[in-house]
Amino acid sequence: MNVLYSKNMDGMDVLKYKAIFTALLTMTTTLVQANWDYPKKGYRTINDIVQHYSPILEPRISLMFEQVGVQYPPEKVALFALKEEMQVELWAKDGEAWVYIKRYDIAKISGKSGPKLREGDHQVPEGIYQVIGLNPNSKYHLSMQLNYPNEFDLKYAQLEKRNRPGANIFIHGKAKSVGCLAMGDIAIEELFLLVERSQIQNVQVVISPSDPRKGPLVPAYGQPFWVTQLYRNIEKEAQKFGR
């Protein structure tokens, strides 16, 4: 090993710099090896993600719940997405009450006010949904799939003979959206771990065009007749989010 030194260095100086260099080399090797050992995208399992992020994120997540007096993981979780406000609120059920935990900013959203009607319209759906799957290998870092189209969506798609209402709607990372809620990587890591710990069957997602707590939801001009009923359903569901 070559070590740079000046004529003014004595033997102790050389030994000191050798020790520093060796420590840095060991640390770099360890970091590279840790990165190498982490499964590459396309081969990761949900358990890989949990094991990788849990030591980093779990203390912070559990503290959020502890600060509002809710057990972690909670028995029920709700994500209340507000398109106009570009926010997702995290709520948890504690006994009979729903408790506000945290607000996340939406990094990117596509489309405009109004429900999703057809494949390729780039609209973020509006309605009451469930998380039905976790994807550890998403091209948008991590993602959570919603059950769009749900029964309500399918009922009116069939009535209007819309044969391709669309599918594959996710909450995911990054900051690009073509009909999904893009939350950025840091937020989706936290949400992914929380949803896995809470179990997906216990996670509801309510997507609203705007905040119904500020006033009634009003369909935009030209939207289908049934959007009024959809908005009444969202308003009713949102009553439990009474900040």
Query: Is 52 considered catalytic here?
Result: no
Bridge partners for 80 per DSSP: 89, 206
- Measured CA to CA, the distance from residue 210 to residue 124 in angstroms comes to 13
Bridge partners for 23 per DSSP: none
Instruction: State the pairing for strand pair 127-135/97-105.
Output: unpaired
Residue of 52, 122, 141, 172 with catalytic role? 172
Residue 224's closest CA among 87, 123, 103, 93?
123
Residue ranges of E strands in 160-233: 170-172, 181-182, 203-208
Residue 171's closest CA among 100, 97, 104, 222?
104
For 83-115, what is each residue's pLDDT tens digit?
999 999 999 998 889 999 999 999 999 999 999
Which DSSP state fits 115?
A: -
- Measured CA to CA, the distance from residue 194 to residue 88 in angstroms comes to 14
Evaluate if residue 18 carries a pLDDT over 90.
Answer: no
Evaluate if residue 176 carries a pLDDT over 50.
Answer: yes
- Measured CA to CA, the distance from residue 205 to residue 208 in angstroms comes to 10
Bridge partners for 200 per DSSP: none
**Other C-beta atoms lying within 10 Å of the C-beta of residue 22:** 11
pLDDT of residue 29: 38
The residue length of the chain stands at 243
**Other C-beta atoms lying within 10 Å of the C-beta of residue 128:** 19
Owner of token pair 């995208």? 41
- Measured CA to CA, the distance from residue 197 to residue 98 in angstroms comes to 18
pTM: 0.83
Residue of 52, 122, 141, 180 with catalytic role? 180
Residue 228's closest CA among 217, 236, 238?
217
Evaluate if residue 170 carries a pLDDT over 50.
Answer: yes
- Measured CA to CA, the distance from residue 209 to residue 216 in angstroms comes to 11
pLDDT of residue 4: 40
H helices within the chain, ranges in order? 11-37, 46-67, 151-159, 185-198, 227-238
Residue 157 to residues 83, 124, 154, 221, Cα–Cα distance (Å): 22, 16, 5, 19
For 192-218, what is each residue's pLDDT tens digit?
999 999 999 999 999 999 999 999 999
For 21-51, what is each residue's pLDDT tens digit?
444 444 443 333 333 345 666 789 999 999 9
- Measured CA to CA, the distance from residue 30 to residue 229 in angstroms comes to 58
